[in-house]
Amino acid sequence: MQDFINQLNSVQQEAVLSTEGPNMILAGAGSGKTRVLTYRVAHLLNKGIDSFNILALTFTNKAAREMRERIESIIGPEAKNLWMGTFHSIFAKILRNEHEKIGYPYNFTIYDTQDAKNLIKSITKELGLDDKLYKSNMVYSRISAAKNNLISATAYSNDASILSEDKRMGKPEIRRIYSIYETRCLKAGAMDFDDLLFKTYEVFKKFPDVLLKHQQLFKYILVDEYQDTNYAQYTIVKMLAKAHNNICVVGDDAQSIYSFRGANIENILNFQKDYSNTQSFKLEQNYRSSKNIVAAANAVIAKNKDQFQKDVWTDNDQGSRIKVVKTKTDNEEGKAVANKILNLKLEKQLENQQFAILYRTNAQSRSMEEALRKLNLPYKIYGGLSFYQRKEIKDLLSYYRMTFNPNDEEALKRIINYPTRGIGKTTLDKLILTSNKNNKSIWEVISNIDSYETGIGNGPKLKIKNFVTMILSFGSELFRKNAFDLGQHIASHTGLLKDLYDDKTPEGISRYENIQELLNGLKQFSAQEESSNTPSKTLDKFMEDVALLTDADNENQDDYNKISLMTIHSAKGLEFPYVFIVGMEENLFPSQLSVNSRSELEEERRLFYVALTRAEKAAYLSYAQTRFKFGNITYAEPSRFISEIPLDYIEMPEVNPPRNYAGTRLAESNSFVSRSPIPPGKKLVSLEKAEKQTQTSNTTETAKRSPVIKEGQTVEHLRFGRGKVISVDGIGPNKKAVISFGKHGQKQILLKFAKLKIVG
């Protein structure tokens, strides 16, 4: 540990050693930011600062975990006591300690965005408002924005300019929805993500003693990715730092890409004004990328007006110029990228994990996936539906939530009739009506159902009582069983496990497996149990973490050597030797919604900067001339960002004649432009047909290698075992077979996905 300092360059060293007062570290892309942060904390501890007195805030669990692990490897288990985590998890911890001050139970539930939107939907409905006008997404983002700007429901209702804006949009009732939303959350003992920030602010503001306590506790404060902070985060940090004034923020204004969710780049641009006598450090040496990439990225970002002057440079090799690839269609683009990856792999003996394909929108992943699948290139997609958002997982978690907080209404609404127990929509509506009328939670109503005028008949009433008894029985086990035992008990006792087990469709099987995975997680959690008479790893403790987890926290072991596919947003903070940035088209990247405002266009440019600077050795840009958008073919122009890269650093595609792209070993399949399915001059209508023809001919091509499935054959399926092919239907990628699998019954199987082996 003694000479960790020597591993740093001189600016990095200064940034680590300058522990007192306000410090701002501007960290260019790939400049060793994490290293500086971890060493800075290690240095503080080394100096004798108590780990309990250090607060380090990040935006993602992953960043917090990585930092903690690295610090632990330097200074040992002492690192466990650091206050290190995401804004949300640290503030949730504070709020659980101070729950009484805001009238919440200790075990408050954290509503995710889906819960919050569902609640908004039901409020809109109960108020009899038009749900086309008051779309839950829109209302949610309005409320969220208000909270992130520390505007309470009351303040919202009294703010003339907000009200007139709502009125102008024809939506004057948002204030009412907001205010009822707040009441309902309180009644349910629930907070949404924004509340974790907003209520922390409120507690600090209303209770100076609580603020003072935390100001004294957090003698040293660090904030990572400061350019991504919103007003609430900015304000709370400022409040906390007031006493000791030891605040260090780290960030890069050039990588601010989250303004659409409230991040305010001004926070970092104004840091020196906010905190007098700021020491600032610029980490400008890039350790990640080639000279060529650094130069190209610098040239791009220089087009932005508002930024700190930075001079990012590197000692790395010159590297090759950025290559631009042009294809006729989005599917061709996918093929070109996949072919290029295959070539590079063979040519340079590379691993899959050295490649990333980055795109602006999730929808673009499809053409990439198809092409990769055809070449048998393993890939992993980040983003999309998260594990914790899956229906079956949310259902089971809803039971868990109700076990320790039965007032949780969104959980109750999900499970009161799942698995089916005869408490239908009509009954639920009556319950909601009664609970609203009496200003009680639904749980309070159903657990004393006889004392309310609900208009519910005796049949359903009995079923409700059984449901209540069941939930109560789970609650009584909460502190007697550990998380796994109770979790398992709930999964089976509710009938949820059996319900999923009985479903033998592939989706059903996967749902069952997901539940098993969740239970495995519980098992691991409970295994950390200390030896004592009462379990400490109880279900409610497990749930404290779960609400704040995301998919990125669930890295799968067998996913490690795969090509990464993700949006540029989720690539921030990552690096790959070879990076493909696809869909470089006007109205896609930059997005159509951004091209009319300077600030939004600048944010898109920062996004492009982030994308480029992910690359270590080489970056490839590609664009298609036509692309399927919402089922229609649209024409596209190459992105303006391509032309913002000086010609010294980039290789443009040769328009005429079409030529192969770089490596030529697999010349035939490696061409980027020569495989156009459309003869020049043909009209648009024929495009779709032509596309289909290519797909068909490709299938014939692959047929040489993979078996042709025919009627009457016996085949073996990974999951269903042996079966007989009844019929084959469709062409190209849509080719599917009806196969009879004995005890699993008849299945329709898309051949392009299924791994079928011909047995006879």
Residue 121 interacts with DNA (CB under 7 A): yes or no: yes
Q: Could you give the CA distance from residue 400 to residue 484 in angstroms, rounded to a whole number?
A: 11
Is the Cβ–Cβ distance between 293 and 313 less than 8 Å?
no
Of the candidate residues 48, 631, 679, 680, the single one contacting DNA (CB under 7 A): 631
Of the candidate residues 74, 552, 708, 738, the single one contacting DNA (CB under 7 A): 552
The mark string for 351-370 relative to DNA (x by CB under 7 A, - otherwise) is: ---------xxxx-------
Residue 424 interacts with DNA (CB under 7 A): yes or no: yes
Q: How far is the CB of 85 from DNA (least distance, A)?
A: 8
Q: Could you give the CA distance from residue 162 to residue 372 in angstroms, rounded to a whole number?
A: 49
Residue 131 interacts with DNA (CB under 7 A): yes or no: yes
**Does the N-terminal peptide bond of residue 419 adopt cis geometry, omega within 30 degrees of 0?**
yes
Residue 132 interacts with DNA (CB under 7 A): yes or no: yes
Cα-based distances in Å from 630 to 204, 307, 733: 48, 36, 19
Is the Cβ–Cβ distance between 353 and 562 less than 8 Å?
yes
Identify which of residues 187 and 394 has a Cβ nearer to DNA in the complex.
Answer: 394
Identify which of residues 284 and 503 has a Cβ nearer to DNA in the complex.
Answer: 503
Give DSSP secondary structure letters for 432-451: HHHHHHHT--HHHHHHTGGG
Tell me how many degrees the CA angle 257-262-268 measures, rounded to the nearest 5: 65
Q: How far is the CB of 60 from DNA (least distance, A)?
A: 3
Of the candidate residues 152, 436, 570, 676, the single one contacting DNA (CB under 7 A): 570
Identify which of residues 194 and 409 has a Cβ nearer to DNA in the complex.
Answer: 194
Q: How far is the CB of 577 from DNA (least distance, A)?
A: 22
Residue 230 interacts with DNA (CB under 7 A): yes or no: yes
Q: Could you give the CA distance from residue 462 to residue 456 in angstroms, rounded to a whole number?
A: 10
Residue 553 interacts with DNA (CB under 7 A): yes or no: yes
Residue 261 interacts with DNA (CB under 7 A): yes or no: yes
Q: How far is the CB of 400 from DNA (least distance, A)?
A: 18
Identify which of residues 281 and 542 has a Cβ nearer to DNA in the complex.
Answer: 542
Q: Which amino acid belongs to residue 266? A: E
The burial class, CB within 10 Å (0-12 / 13-18 / 19+), for 632 is: exposed
Tokens of 753: 């996905």
Instruction: Please state the separation of Cα 249 from the chain's center in Å.
Output: 24
Q: How far is the CB of 581 from DNA (least distance, A)?
A: 14
Binding residues for DNA restricted to 26-85, rule: CB under 7 A: 59-62
**Does the N-terminal peptide bond of residue 680 adopt cis geometry, omega within 30 degrees of 0?**
no
Q: How far is the CB of 295 from DNA (least distance, A)?
A: 26
Identify which of residues 593 and 759 has a Cβ nearer to DNA in the complex.
Answer: 593
Number of chain residues interacting with DNA (CB under 7 A): 51
- Work out the angle between the directed axes of helices 136-148 and 113-126 (0-180°, nearest 10): 110
Identify which of residues 291 and 569 has a Cβ nearer to DNA in the complex.
Answer: 569
Of the candidate residues 18, 19, 97, 113, the single one contacting DNA (CB under 7 A): 113
Catalytic residue list:
33-34, 224-225, 255, 614
The burial class, CB within 10 Å (0-12 / 13-18 / 19+), for 67 is: buried
For residue 686, what are the contacts with CB-CB under 8 A and spacing of at least 6? Answer: 678
Residue 566 interacts with DNA (CB under 7 A): yes or no: yes
Tell me how many degrees the CA angle 140-146-152 measures, rounded to the nearest 5: 110
- Contacting residues toward DNA, per CB under 7 A: 59-62, 86-89, 112-113, 121, 131-132, 144, 193-194, 230, 260-262, 360-363, 383, 385-386, 417, 420, 422-425, 427, 548-550, 552-553, 566-567, 569-570, 591, 593-594, 600, 604, 628, 630-631
